Amino acid sequence: MVVANYTGPVVPVTARFVERVINTAEKRGATACVLELNTPGGLYSATQEIVTEILNSEVPVVVFVSPHGGWAGSAGTFITISAHIAAMAPGSRIGAAHPVSVGNPEMPEVPSEKITEDAAAWARSIAQMRGRNAHAAELAVRESKSFSDSEALKENLIDFRANSLGDLLAKIDGKEVVLATGRKATLHTAKAPVERLEMNSVEKLLLTISNPDLAYILLTLGMAGLMVEIYHPGLIFPGVVGGISLLLGLYSLGTLDAYWGGVLLIVLAFALFIAEVFVPSHGALGAGGVVSFITGSLILFSNSSTGLRVSIWLIVTTSIFITALLSLLVTAVIRGQRRPVITGKEALIGATAVVRSELNPKGTVFVAGEIWSAVAEEGRIDPGEEVVITGIKGLHLKVRRKNEVKEENRK
Active-site residues: which are they? 74, 114
Q: Which of 402, 409, 411, 348 is nearest to 378 (CA)?
A: 402
Q: Which of 353, 325, 26 is nearest to 181 (CA)?
A: 26
Indicate if the alpha-carbon torsion angle 151, 152, 153, 156 is positive or negative.
positive
The helix/strand/coil state of 366 is strand
Distance CA 58, CA 220 (A): 44
Q: At CB < 8 A and 24+ separation, what contacts does 215-218 make?
A: 215/249, 215/252, 215/253, 215/256, 215/258, 216/249, 216/297, 216/300, 216/310, 216/314, 216/315, 216/318, 217/249, 217/314, 217/318, 218/245, 218/246, 218/248, 218/249, 218/252
Distance CA 74, CA 71 (A): 9
Task: Please tell me whether the peptide bond between 67 and the residue prior to it is cis, using omega within 30 degrees of 0.
Answer: yes
Distance CA 128, CA 192 (A): 30
Amino acid letter, 127 = A
Check residue 276 and report its DSSP letter: H
Q: How many CB atoms lie within 10 A of CB 204?
A: 13
